[in-house]
């Protein structure tokens, strides 16, 4: 049986008090819509339709960015006239000939797990129902839609709290908003919706009573873990889900053999893969699709996004790295900035106040202090001295610097790109490299050093500074 999916995400989310659409707010470093899509993908739906409305373009862009490997379809709901109207918009993106099952869920319910969705689909198929939805029992059913059953316990409808009688409002079983419906039934039930309710909206919930009135079998699948169905409606709910989500992620990592020195300040994305025996210090953010090899140590205060770190590497205090690869046995920081396209092949050392961008360092090469290496290819076993700078930008374009194997690039060297330095080259400190240096050469561009003897004493006298200069007398004699 084939499954299509519709994710309702057109609402504004008024209570967020935000200029941004609600589904773009992030949980564990990801827009909540991206998390929902990942869970729904577990059912391999075809198509997967996202109904957008409020900030449609931004939501579409966020979905595209998070789901690059496979594509979603988008349906525009404008204006937003209720969940039923939204589902109808979504259905318009599903071929009229599609005769499988349609899953419907919300973009603002980001904790629903793939396993729960699979169990739900399985139970729907076994029950023989044409329409199933997920319900939960709550001690405080608040404003949720109540599940109304007949005396035999069969579901007959869902009643919104606003439209419910006091007796109905006392019911603790509520609708989570996740449905699985046979396509043909969904088409006709949605076509029948009328906005006859307190909010004058098209309620998706009304498809339940409609299906029952047609004599179709309807099932409510009672889920055990209400936390999975928590929706986000406010900043407070966002923060509380953020905390719960992080705790869940961190617990899984610790169970898998990762040490988190202070789990309360470990901010790790669900998509991160962290090998056993890593030690993650306090205040570390590991975002996106990071891959951290076995035995990596992070001392603390690091921000990593889409970074691969090889086994046994050591990230000292204050590393920021993005879209880059750090090989095995590297030593990074303290206070290092590895920008996009940095590639360290292994056994590298990047020390304090070094910035790299689109820089490839071969095995064992080092830049230990105060450097900028941008648009550079550096060979194996080369030492980049303190304060070396690749001069890569002419105001219009970026240019490439190539440095060979086993070089010693002296302190305070500038390499004016495009430029190439061969293998086994020594560059004297303070050199400005302007043209290609052949293999094995020493390159230097020193100004000859001069001394003006006695100069300091004169200078001080002119400023009425009475301090003596050590050895002044001798210097004056020599200068005569």
* Catalytic residue set: 369
Other CB atoms closer than 10 Å to residue 1's CB: what's the count? Answer: 9
| Cβ–Cβ under 8 Å, residues 408 and 422 | no
Beta-bridge partner residues of 420: 402
Closer by beta carbon to ligand UD1, 22 or else 366? 22
Could you say whether residue 174 binds ligand UD1 (CB under 6 A)? yes
| 11 binds, options Ca ion, ligand UD1, none, Cβ within 5 to 8 A by partner type | ligand UD1
Closest CA to 361 of 387, 330, 337, 334: 330
Q: State the minimum distance, in angstroms, from the CB of residue 325 to Ca ion.
A: 41
* φ, ψ of residue 42 in degrees (nearest 5): -60, -20
Could you say whether residue 55 binds ligand UD1 (CB under 6 A)? no
| Cβ–Cβ under 8 Å, residues 56 and 80 | no
Could you say whether residue 8 binds ligand UD1 (CB under 6 A)? yes
Q: State the minimum distance, in angstroms, from the CB of residue 217 to ligand UD1.
A: 20
> Pattern of binders to ligand UD1 over 205-224, x per CB under 6 A?
x-------------------
Could you say whether residue 248 binds ligand UD1 (CB under 6 A)? no
Closer by beta carbon to ligand UD1, 203 or else 372? 203
Tell how far CA 469 is from the center of its chain: 61
Closer by beta carbon to ligand UD1, 87 or else 315? 87
**Residue choice 31, 82, 327, 351 for contact with ligand UD1 (CB under 6 A):** 82
Closest CA to 25 of 110, 131, 150, 133: 110
Beta-bridge partner residues of 344: 326, 361
Reported in sequence order, the residue ranges of 112-236 that DSSP labels E, i.e. its strands, are: 131-137, 146-149, 155-159, 173-182, 218-222
Closer by beta carbon to ligand UD1, 104 or else 336? 104
Instruction: Give the residue carrying structure tokens 């909206």.
Output: 201
Q: State the minimum distance, in angstroms, from the CB of residue 182 to ligand UD1.
A: 19
| Cβ–Cβ under 8 Å, residues 54 and 11 | yes
Instruction: Select from 32-40, 173-181, 210-218, 335-343 the region that touches ligand UD1 (CB under 6 A).
Output: 173-181
HSE, CB side, 13 Å, CA atoms: give it for residue 248.
15
Q: State the minimum distance, in angstroms, from the CB of residue 233 to Ca ion.
A: 5
Q: State the minimum distance, in angstroms, from the CB of residue 124 to ligand UD1.
A: 18
Could you say whether residue 81 binds ligand UD1 (CB under 6 A)? yes
Closer by beta carbon to ligand UD1, 232 or else 315? 232
At 197, list the tokens: 């309710």
Tell how far CA 161 is from the center of its chain: 36
Binding site for ligand UD1 (CB under 6 A): 8-11, 51, 77, 80-83, 85-86, 106-108, 144-145, 158, 160, 174-177, 203-205, 231
């Amino acid at each position: 049986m084939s499954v299509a999916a519709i994710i309702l995400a057109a609402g504004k989310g008024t209570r967020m008090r935000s200029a941004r659409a609600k589904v773009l707010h992030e949980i564990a470093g990801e827009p909540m819509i991206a998390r929902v899509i990942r869970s729904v993908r577990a059912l391999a739906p075809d198509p997967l339709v996202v109904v957008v409305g409020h900030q449609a373009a931004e939501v579409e862009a966020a979905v595209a960015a998070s789901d690059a490997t496979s594509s979603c379809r988008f349906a525009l709901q404008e204006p937003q006239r209720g969940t039923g109207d939204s589902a109808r918009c979504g259905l318009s993106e599903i071929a009229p000939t599609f005769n499988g099952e349609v899953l419907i869920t919300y973009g603002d319910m980001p904790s629903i797990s793939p396993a729960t969705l699979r169990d739900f689909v399985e139970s729907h198929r076994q029950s023989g129902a044409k329409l199933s939805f997920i319900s939960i029992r709550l001690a405080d059913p608040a404003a949720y839609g109540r599940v109304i059953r007949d005396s035999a316990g069969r579901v007959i409808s869902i009643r919104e709290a606003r439209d419910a009688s006091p007796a109905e409002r006392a019911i603790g079983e509520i609708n989570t908003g996740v449905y699985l419906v046979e396509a043909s039934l969904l088409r006709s039930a949605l076509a029948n919706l009328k906005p006859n309710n307190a909010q004058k909206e098209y309620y998706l919930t009304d498809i339940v009573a409609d299906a029952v009135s047609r004599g179709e079998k309807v099932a409510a699948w009672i889920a055990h873990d209400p936390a999975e169905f928590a929706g986000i409606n406010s900043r407070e709910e966002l923060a509380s889900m953020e905390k719960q989500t992080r705790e869940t992620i961190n617990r899984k990592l610790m169970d898998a053999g990762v040490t988190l020195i202070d789990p309360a300040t470990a901010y790790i994305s669900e998509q991160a893969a962290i090998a056993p025996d890593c030690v993650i210090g306090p205040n570390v953010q590991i975002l996106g699709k990071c891959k951290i090899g076995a035995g990596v140590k992070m001392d603390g205060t690091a921000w990593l996004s889409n970074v691969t770190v090889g086994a046994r590497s050591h990230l000292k205090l204050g590393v920021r790295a993005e879209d880059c690869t750090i090989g095995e046995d590297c030593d990074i920081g303290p206070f290092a900035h590895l920008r996009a396209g940095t590639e360290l092949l292994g056994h590298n050392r990047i020390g304090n106040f070094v910035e790299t961008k689109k820089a490839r360092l071969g095995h064992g090469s080092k830049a230990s202090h105060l450097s900028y290496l941008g648009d550079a290819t550096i060979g194996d076993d080369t030492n980049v001295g303190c304060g070396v700078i690749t001069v890569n930008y002419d105001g219009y374009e970026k240019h490439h610097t190539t440095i060979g194997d086993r070089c010693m690039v002296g302190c305070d060297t500038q390499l004016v790109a495009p430029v190439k330095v061969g293998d086994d080259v020594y560059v004297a400190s303070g050199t400005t490299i302007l043209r290609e240096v052949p293999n094995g050469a020493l390159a230097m561009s020193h100004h000859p050093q001069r001394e003006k003897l006695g100069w300091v004493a004169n200078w001080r006298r002119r400023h009425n500074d009475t301090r003596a200069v050590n050895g002044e007398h001798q210097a004056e004699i020599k200068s005569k």
